[in-house]
Structure 1
Amino acid sequence: MVKQKTIQSEITLTGVGLHTGKEVTMTLKPAPVNNGFTFVRVDLEGCPVIEADANYVVNTQRGTNLEKLGVKIQTSEHVLAACIGCDLDNVIIELNESEPPIMDGSSKYFVEAIEKAGIVEQEAERYYYVVKEVISYVDENTGSEIIVMPSDEYQVTTMVDFGTKVLGTQNATLKHMSEFKTEIADARTFSFLHELETLLDHGLIKGGDLNNAIVYVDKEISEKTMVNLKKAFGKDNISVKPNGILDNLTLHYPNEAARHKLLDVIGDLALIGCRIKGKVIANKPGHFVNTQFAKKMSKIIKIEQRNHVPTYDLNKEPLMDVTKIMKMLPHRPPFLLVDRIIEMSDSHVVGLKNVTMNEDFFVGHFPGAPVMPGVLIVEAMAQTGGILILSSVPDPENYLTYFMKIDNVKFKHKVLPGDTLIFKCDLISPIRRGICHMQANAYANGRLVAEAELMAQIAKNQ
């Protein structure tokens, strides 16, 4: 079981935003389990939070830009790539402007900051989406395509072709995410001269200089452009190196552009919201196709999570039959709603109930069209969870279990006589001081019929 991870202590970086040109302070802070990556605008009233979620992407021009309720985050991909590359799950990213500092145009300084802050394991288990079949997204306008195929671990390959003499076809591959720091993190962002001219004309890249972006010169530099470049970069002289790059920079790798595109893919796919076990192949990737693919993956994963039904061998010898259950639970028929416990660990329990026409509640609950009351399904899930919490003490017969809170209850389908109900309860957080917080799901006929977050406490039976 792989545990979730966050940083050990908070750490602050300062710099300028590439497009805004504004000084910005960014603080990375430890985050609780299941928080994911969240941006916080501390410069705005109420410190609004924007989750790193593909569904909040509103613009992909020169970076991946998020917006929630009018609050914006620009160029999110480099810091998110660093978080994934450092094997993190939960981080709070505080900003006093809309855009993280560009630093040198890579993820290098973010990775160094994370390592300086330290990384710690958390109590909760990391969720992986295991890719079982090829999933793809194609941008018909550009020919860009991203696919993911089954693999035992997360791998990324990027293939780029810019169709220019100065920068042609390049490939880059990351087979193990542990190599992100040494192979990908210091690959810097880049631009072509013709793009740079447009950006300068539109007042963008105000924070740009020759130290945070590689500029490939794909055309003759006009006198007007040379004047604008000198002014934008604060330089008296600018020239083109023999390899077609604007001066003051030396490439870290011959395929640095492809490596940076791979960095961008990792940062953009962080917006899916969970880890992937699959191999990603991106042909001519860009922020638009990356984030569209992330949206598609996020939707597929949510649907599968919602509809996922675990399978169990119901003919297998149960861990506890009804006699053993009654030795632990104080409930008795007709209010005992669990027939068997078929699986249990320190963090989860699975129970079963056979629903028959002989149930007492069918006498008065829609007797002409019998349906199991939803509240009793919730009670049955709670009784199953009660087995888990009572198993944490050496003398469960001396304890009673009491409800403290019920949240997010949803009833999906009717439960009828003849159905077999399966209850699965997973701890949301470790049991402490006799308090158990769990996610409970009920299944019947191969589908989810009810779900709820339950909190209960055990107390000595005085």
Structure 2
Amino acid sequence: MSLQQTIAKKVTYSGIGLHSGQPVRLSFVPAPVDSGIRFRRTDISESDTVAAQIRYVTNTMRATTLENGAVMVTTVEHVLSAIRALEIDNIIVELDSVEPPVGDGSAAVFVGLLDEAGIVTQDAERRYLPVTKSVGVYDTPNDRFIVALPYDGFRVTFLAEKEDHPLLRLQAMDIEITTENYRNSIMRARTIGFTEELEQLRKMGLGRGGTLENAVVYSPTEVLSELRYPDEVVRHKILDVIGDLALAGPLKAHIIARKSGHQLNTELARRLVESV
């Protein structure tokens, strides 16, 4: 039997948002049994929250956005990835802006913050979302898919491809998602960007906090950032999958994906919840 977990104390970190470029203060706060993961916008209300549940997803363009009434938070996937990988069930994420700080573009800063807070067990059993049959989402015209299969654990197999880029024709990884494996192989992988998209992103009001240090930036012919791993792209895609699927709750499943992003990831989370 696995017991639910929360953190031992409140911890805080300040930085800038990846897309907004605005200063933001994030705090992780302990939460009681069965309360789940919740986001609170302290600049809007001290009481209203939005739960990290798939029914509150309103946008998946370039990031995953949650909204409940006046409370909207975006770019939640890296925070959720760290929380889920460290097997934390109940926590409040306080923000005084619309998105978490980008940190170094990975989940490492959030893992470090949660380590600082300490993790404590609670007197209640963790409830996993049962995956008893294959559940998938397919985008056949674009050759993209993501599938969940029954599995006694949590495993991700991902194929990242960008056929028109000489450095990104195929990156593949298969990994059992344990806290140790996440720390060693996934949490430091940074978000990805392309120079040909930057101008369009800025026109859309996105990517304003991105740099060569907190993103892996590719030109049409080369990588402009110093890589942390030769296959950093696929590692970050797995980081995102973990965060997006956290919106379905704790899972035991084998996830197999090709070229999947936030839209397909969250649609799989939705179908998994609806399949129960």
Q: Same fold (TM over 0.5)?
A: yes
In structure 2, distance between residues paired with 1:42 and 1:141:
42
Tell me what 2:201 maps to.
199
Distance 1:141 1:32, change over 3 A: farther
In structure 2, distance between residues paired with 1:196 and 1:291:
24
Contact 2:66 2:73 in 1 (8 A): yes
Q: Secondary structure at the match of 1:299?
A: helix
Tell me what 1:115 maps to.
115
Q: How does 1:379-458 map to 2 (within 5 A)?
A: none
In structure 1, distance between residues paired with 2:63 and 2:237:
12
Aligned counterpart for 2:254 among listed residues 256, 279, 289? 279
Q: Of the two, which has the highest radius of gyration? A: 1
Which deviates further from its counterpart, 79-88 or 203-212? 203-212
Tell me what 1:89 maps to.
89
Corresponding position: 1:16 with 2:13: no
Deviations along 1:258-280, one digit per CA (max 9) or x if unpaired, are: 000000000000001x2111111
Distance 1:45 1:153, change over 3 A: closer
When normalised by structure 1's length, the TM-score is: 0.58
Q: How does 1:8-47 map to 2 (within 5 A)?
A: 8-47=8-47
Corresponding position: 1:257 with 2:233: yes
In structure 1, distance between residues paired with 2:115 and 2:175:
20
Tell me what 1:305 maps to.
none
Corresponding position: 1:172 with 2:173: yes
In structure 1, distance between residues paired with 2:47 and 2:214:
29
In structure 2, distance between residues paired with 1:152 and 1:203:
42
In structure 2, distance between residues paired with 1:141 and 1:42:
42
Distance 1:12 1:160, change over 3 A: same
Counterpart of 2:63 in structure 1: which amino acid?
G
Tell me what 1:149 maps to.
149
Contact 1:131 1:149 in 2 (8 A): yes
Contact 1:134 1:148 in 2 (8 A): yes
Tell me what 2:211 maps to.
209
Displacement after TM superposition at 1:70 (Å): 3.7
Contact 2:135 2:268 in 1 (8 A): no
Q: Secondary structure at the match of 2:45?
A: coil
In structure 2, distance between residues paired with 1:139 and 1:30:
39
Corresponding position: 1:289 with 2:264: yes
Tell me what 1:160 maps to.
160
In structure 2, distance between residues paired with 1:147 and 1:161:
17
Displacement after TM superposition at 1:79 (Å): 0.4
Displacement after TM superposition at 1:71 (Å): 2.4
Displacement after TM superposition at 1:161 (Å): 0.7
Counterpart of 2:14 in structure 1: which amino acid?
T
In structure 2, distance between residues paired with 1:14 and 1:198:
27
Q: Secondary structure at the match of 1:33?
A: coil
**Percent same amino acid among aligned pairs?**
40
In structure 2, distance between residues paired with 1:168 and 1:140:
18
Contact 1:144 1:283 in 2 (8 A): yes
In structure 2, distance between residues paired with 1:176 and 1:270:
13
In structure 2, distance between residues paired with 1:89 and 1:142:
35
Deviations along 1:141-178, one digit per CA (max 9) or x if unpaired, are: 53321111121111111111111113221112221422
Q: Which runs of 5+ in 2 are unaligned?
A: none
Q: Secondary structure at the match of 1:159?
A: strand
Larger relative contact order (C-alpha < 8 A, sep ≥ 6)?
2
Q: Secondary structure at the match of 2:89?
A: coil
In structure 2, distance between residues paired with 1:280 and 1:204:
29
Q: Secondary structure at the match of 1:26?
A: strand
In structure 2, distance between residues paired with 1:255 and 1:138:
24
Contact 2:4 2:89 in 1 (8 A): yes
Counterpart of 1:280 in structure 2: which amino acid?
I
Q: Secondary structure at the match of 1:281?
A: strand
Q: Secondary structure at the match of 1:276?
A: coil
Contact 2:154 2:252 in 1 (8 A): yes
Q: Which runs of 5+ in 1 are unaligned?
A: 220-243, 302-462
In structure 1, distance between residues paired with 2:177 and 2:214:
26
In structure 2, distance between residues paired with 1:53 and 1:132:
20
In structure 1, distance between residues paired with 2:141 and 2:44:
38
Displacement after TM superposition at 1:195 (Å): 1.5
Deviations along 1:238-286, one digit per CA (max 9) or x if unpaired, are: xxxxxx112xx321111100000000000000001x2111111111110
CA RMSD of superposed structures (Å): 1.3
